[in-house]
Amino acid sequence: MDKSKMTRLKQLFAQQGPIVRSKQLKQHGFDSRSIQSLLAADTLIRLKDGYYVMSDTLPQLSDAQIAAATISGAVLYFLSAAAFHQLTTVIPACVYVAVPNKGVLPVPPAYPPVDITRFIPRIHALGKTMAATTPVPVACYNRERTICDLAKRWQEVGKDVLIEAIRTYLQGDRNLQLLYDYADNLCVRDIIHPYLEAMA
């Protein structure tokens, strides 16, 4: 590939990236053959159909950022949100994300492994925040919603993980009114209330 085209490619990723869609590449003069050549030369890496990153940029991206950028509507959820907020010492085996239950289930990237949970739009939006992570911002449930999600799935992780998360939550900024509001929405008040009462 000639030098001017490579310069154009780098400019595109600098302005639109670090993850770029095939549609954007084609709009900037990179046809399917050019994309295949860039893949063969290890200049680009395909994260999943239609999503590309420059190979020298990939190490700068976290698994959560890759999942968030390649799955429409993805919000960091469950153990991934707990790890993000440092509410747990558990290292998730995959990236847990939540998406709205509209349309076809999104296709995850080839890597990292992703666990996708679907919620009705009202529950999907509950506690959603944007984390200013660089170079890719990530949607993540807030600390209160994350406690409730751990309570909802405590049988998968064990009570020790839930207790650790609640104890850590209470040691930092806390909003018990909001936590109980979310707990009512997610039907977990009866699970978390005894722990909050004992620890608060």
Q: Are 72 and 111 in the same domain?
A: yes
- Residue where a domain stops, chosen among 38, 60, 82: 60
Range of the domain at 92: 63-199
Transcribe 44-72 into DSSP letters.
EEEEETTEEEETTTGGGS-HHHHHHHHST
> Are both 178 and 79 inside the same structural domain?
yes
Regarding whether 73 and 19 lie in a shared domain, the answer is no
User: How many beta carbons lie within 10 A of that of residue 55, not counting itself?
Assistant: 14
Regarding whether 70 and 86 lie in a shared domain, the answer is yes
Digits of tens for pLDDT over the chain (200 positions)? 677 788 888 888 888 879 999 999 999 889 899 999 999 999 999 999 999 999 999 999 999 999 999 999 999 999 999 999 999 999 999 999 999 998 889 999 999 999 999 999 999 999 999 988 878 889 999 999 999 999 999 999 999 999 999 999 999 999 999 999 999 999 999 999 999 999 87
pTM: 0.89
Task: Indicate if 7 and 104 belong to the same structural domain.
Answer: no
Same domain, residue pair 104 and 170: yes
Question: Which of residues 43, 60, 77 is at a domain's end?
Answer: 60
The answer on 54 and 68 residing in a single domain is no
Q: Are both 56 and 67 inside the same structural domain?
A: no
Q: Are residues 97 and 119 in the same domain?
A: yes
Q: Smallest Cα–Cα separation from 25: which of 52, 61, 55?
A: 52
41 lies in the same domain as 132: no
Query: What single-letter amino acid sits at 136?
Result: V
Please tell me the total count of domains within the chain.
Answer: 2
